[in-house]
Each structure stands twice: as structure tokens, then as C-alpha cells.
Amino acid sequence: MLLVAAGALTGVPRVGRWDVSPLDAFAGRTAGLLALGLGLGGLAAAAVQVMTREGRRFAAGFAPVFLLAVLAYAAAGQAAVRAAGFGYAFWALAFGLLIANTWGAPAWIRPALRSELYIKTGLVLLGAEVLFGNVLRLGAPGLFVAWMVTPTVIVFMYLFGTRVLRMTSRALVIVIAAATSVCGVSAAIAVAAAARARKEELTLAVGMSLIFTVLMMVLMPLGIRAAGMDPVVGAAWIGGTVDATGAVVAAGALLGSQAEQIAAIVKMIQNSLIGLVAFLVAVFWVTRVERDPAAPRPGAGEIWRRFPKFILGFVGASLLFSFVLTPALGGGRVDAILDLTSDLRGWLFCLAFASIGLDSRLGELARRAGGGQPVKLYLTGQTCNLVLTLIAAWLAFGGVLFDRIQIDPGQARAAAAIERRPPADRDATALFHTELDDPSLVRR
């Protein structure tokens, strides 16, 4: 963040988009991707050396993991795949699972499978994108949708999973609940760290979240249009229910530019709950779930040891960008900074998903999903989430409890804070609502 803010880092290499030949994705980008791999590998190796003194072993196994992340981005960049909504997270997880369950990941790669390091660093960068100005832009209606329904769904799913479905792993239940109610993969990994969930449990929750995110991203805008629903209400509904931030922007764009912005801001307000939810889960796990009744009541020290420390970075980044950098540098400069940090966050998330896949076994996943209980939990919880969020969106954005929201597209920067790409480089769904002078860009 400091390097980007100071202007020392002016770009993050990316894999290009392509239609027919995958080689087009790497045209003129090989040197940049190599430099990115060396930079990320060096920084991560230094972190691992400080934590475990195994920096050299990490560095030796990092290259194949990074290569898998590059291939995942390339697969996601194909035109038809991109239109279908299968992003880099899906492909990184799928490629990793394929390798782990066929040839198997070599032992020398395993020191580089640091999924928690990658994802927690990425979550700190995500915190920078949760700007308090965006929270204030929607005010009470946005808070009502994002903060009223989310805790209700989490509590309902936890009780339903443990008392009705009688699932034996409470950690799996709370991870699925967080993925469903907050923001998908990011919340799942944050809560998994707080509840000390097994990697197989996290993989199962992430896989379900990714699959249903694609379905909801496509079906919800179609259903909203077919029902003749108010696009503003529909946008708030999408923002509060679709798990992935990028999918929220794409789905909202299908309802119009204002709907895209409202959906994005609602999702960002909901994202701000990641740290709070992970903290509360950590406290609940220490004081209730894992507490030995015969042992003394755990004190603040035990809660601090279990507390996911990355939350401090998440909140700190949000405060830094909201109250220091935005007033000092201006909104335009902060958007440019977030453009780069979000690209880096994407690479870190991709490395995390590749690591999760490489370290997971389908046999163990099948055992964890025995009887289809996790799927039943997800479907029941998501149904509850859809119904409650729809009611909340109608009350908050339909002019019932609050005045109707009107956002000036020229002033709102919510969508830019998440999908900061020039029009020619956006997903196809966003192009539908972008005026372009070049007909070739429209066709593409």
C-alpha cells in the first residue's frame, strides 16, 4: 500500500483476455508476470522465514503454485468462460484439486501451500476497499439491508445445522453460514481461521459458494427483470445475497448503472462485517464450543491468542484509506491506488485457492459431505437469506421505511472501487451499460 501510494509501484501485471488462442493471453506480458512471481515469492518467503524459519523451503516450492495461479487466470480470461461467470477462484481450486487427486502434489511443493498467509494478506488489502464514505453514501438503507439480515442468517444456519441437521462438525456449520450470509469465500476463510476448521471443510464450503454464486449471478437479474421488480430494490437484493463482490457488480450491471452502484455499495457495507464476524466467532468458540466445563473460564489472553490478527490489518487499512489517504490525496488518487491493490489482492486470493486445491482430497470432501448435510444447510440458509434480504431491500429501498435512494452516476465511485477497469477491459455484462465510440470494442 505504501509503495503504491508513494508512486513507486505503478502497475500489477495481469493475464490478458483471449478468444481462440490462449497464447494471446500472454502476448507482451511474460516479463511482467515473471517479475510479479519473483516479487510475490520474495515477499512471501520473507514472511515465512520470520514466522517459521522455512523461507528457503517455501521459495523452492512457490514457482509451481504461482504457475497454477497464472493458468487459472488464463482459463478465466477466455471469452465464453468469462461470460459464463467462472472466475479465477473456480479454476484455481479446480486445477489444484485435479492435481492433488491424480498425480498428487509433490512433497517439495507443500511448504509453499500457505493458503492462510495468502488469503489473510489479501483480506487486509480488501479492507482498504471498504471506505466509510461509501457506507455513508447509502446511509441507513444500506446498513439496514447489510447488517440486519446477515447476523440473523448466521444464527439461524448455525442452529439449523447443529440442532436440526445434527452435523457433527460445528466448524463446518459456521464456515458455511459465514460464506452464505456475509461475502462468500473471504468470510469463509476468515471464520475458518477463527473456528480452526479443517482445510477439507473450508474447501467444501468454498466450492459450494463458488458454484451457487455463478448460478445466482445469472438467474437473479433475469428473475428481477421478469418480475418487473424495481431495479433499485433488485440491486440491493443482489448486493445482500450474491456471495462474490465481482459477481455482484456483474449482476447489478444487468439492471442498469445506478443498480450496479447500489449493489456494489451494499456488498461493500456487508464486507465490512468480515472482521466483526470472525472476532465474534473466535470469542464464541473459546468461551462456548471448545471450553472444558471442568476448566476455569477462559480469560482475555486465550481470546487474544485465538483472535485472527489479520482483522487488525483489515480494519486498519479501512481506517487509513477512509480517514487519512482519501482526505489527503483525494478520491481520484485513492481509486487509482485501490486499482493496484485490488489487482494484487486478486493474485493473493488465486494463490490461496490453488493452495487449498493442492492440499485437498476429494475422498475426504465426500466424507465431510456425507448424506448431503452441508448442501442441505447451504440451500436452506441461502433460501432464508434470499427471502429476508428481499424483504429488507423492499423496506429500505422501496420507499417504505426510508426515502428512495438516488445516486448520481457521475459522483458515485462505488462501482469503481470494486471493478476498476477501463470500459474496454470490463466483463461483457458491464459493457452492456457502457457507451463506447469504438464499435470493435462493443462487439468484443
Residue 408 pLDDT: 46
Measured distance CA(175)–CA(278) in Å, rounded: 10
Please list, in sequence order, all residues whose beta carbon lies within 8 angstroms of the beta carbon of residue 124, skipping any fewer than 6 positions away: 310, 313, 314, 316, 317
By the 8 A CB rule, do 110 and 230 touch? no
C-alpha to C-alpha distances, 310 to 88, 189, 237, 275, 316, nearest whole angstrom:
23, 11, 29, 9, 10
Domain annotation covers residue 191: yes
Domain annotation covers residue 158: yes
Provide the H-helix boundaries in 130-272. 132-159, 170-178, 185-195, 199-226, 231-241, 245-253, 257-271
Give me the number of domains the chain comprises.
Answer: 1
Helix axes 185-195 and 310-320, enclosed angle (nearest 10) = 140
Domain annotation covers residue 63: no
Residue entry with cell 493475464: 15
C-alpha to C-alpha distances, 2 to 192, 198, 322, 330, nearest whole angstrom:
29, 34, 15, 16
* Virtual torsion, Cα 283, 285, 291, 296, nearest 10 deg: -10
Helix, strand, or coil (residue 444):
coil
Question: Rounded to two decimals, what is the model's pTM?
Answer: 0.78
337-349 exposure pattern, b = at least 16 Cβ within 10 A, e = fewer: bbbbbbbbbbbbb
Nearest one of 428, 353, 369 to 113, comparing CA atoms:
353
Domain annotation covers residue 76: no
Domain annotation covers residue 157: yes
Domain annotation covers residue 75: no
Residue 294 pLDDT: 66
Residue 440 pLDDT: 39
Percent of the chain with pLDDT over 70: 89
Domain annotation covers residue 252: yes
Measured distance CA(183)–CA(199) in Å, rounded: 19
By the 8 A CB rule, do 246 and 86 touch? no
Residue 75 pLDDT: 96
Q: What's the grid cell of residue 100?
A: 492433488
Domain annotation covers residue 254: yes
Q: What's the grid cell of residue 400?
A: 417504505
The continuous run of DSSP H or E covering 98 comes out as helix 88-100
Residue 376 pLDDT: 95
pLDDT tens across 237-296, in order?
999 999 877 788 888 888 888 888 889 889 888 888 888 898 899 889 988 888 766 666
Provide the H-helix boundaries in 254-330. 257-271, 273-284, 300-306, 310-320, 326-329
| Torsion sign over Cα 351, 195, 236, 221 | positive
101, exposed or middle or buried, with CB in 10 Å at 0-12, 13-18, 19+? middle
Domain carrying residue 324: 115-443
Length of the chain: 444
Residue ranges of the chain whose pLDDT lies below 50: 408-444
Measured distance CA(201)–CA(191) in Å, rounded: 12
Residue 406 pLDDT: 60
